Amino acid sequence: MRDLDAEVLASMLAEARSSSERFAAEERCTAEWSRIWSIEPIPFNQRLIEFCEEAIIETTGKSHRLPSGPLHDAAEVARAGIPTVMMFTQSLAGLSHNKAEDTKVEDLTLAVQAFDRLARKTVKWLSDQG
């Protein structure tokens, strides 16, 4: 649930809540919801998104964009006005934030190379600003 549109996120939440209540009724059990965390979508820095995509393409020859806003630490950094972006590396079987998460060594190697390119582009951009 990293959509950049707050209305889309609210719709997703309403649909999930409605579905869980329907499933609970069908199975004759209850579903309870409680808000444990909430954050408004915060956009990443557009220039850093461009640098990130360039770095990935220069490293791998292609890039796949995953529309995402920052969460966790990245959200607080972005909210403080610090240009922020995230680069994702493919996980085996699509598992993420899970103890079974794993990534091929070759993909990690490419990610480090792309991160290096992104860092160099960012440092140059910042130094050119003054």
- pTM score: 0.76
The residue-averaged pLDDT of 110-122 equals 97
Residues 49, 79, single domain; the answer is: yes
Domain count across the chain:
2
Residues 56, 33, single domain; the answer is: no
Q: Which pLDDT value is given to residue 32? A: 93
Q: Which pLDDT value is given to residue 1? A: 67
Residues 55, 119, single domain; the answer is: yes
Task: Provide, rounded to the nearest whole percent, the portion of the chain with pLDDT above 70.
Answer: 97
Question: 105: number of CA atoms within 13 Å, CB side?
Answer: 0
> What is the rounded CA–CA span in Å between residue 40 and residue 67?
15
Selection from 52, 124, 121 nearest residue 89 by Cα: 52
Residues 100, 116, single domain; the answer is: yes
Residues 2, 27, single domain; the answer is: yes
Residues 36, 58, single domain; the answer is: no
CB 114 within 8 A of CB 56: yes
Residues 16, 54, single domain; the answer is: no
Residues 117, 68, single domain; the answer is: yes
Between 23 and 39, the higher pLDDT residue: 23
Residues 48, 91, single domain; the answer is: yes
Residues 57, 75, single domain; the answer is: yes
Residues 62, 97, single domain; the answer is: yes
User: Is the pLDDT score of 83 beyond 80?
Assistant: yes
What is the residue range of 12's domain? 1-41
Selection from 66, 62, 37 nearest residue 49 by Cα: 66
Which amino acid, residue 53?
E
Residues 22, 50, single domain; the answer is: no
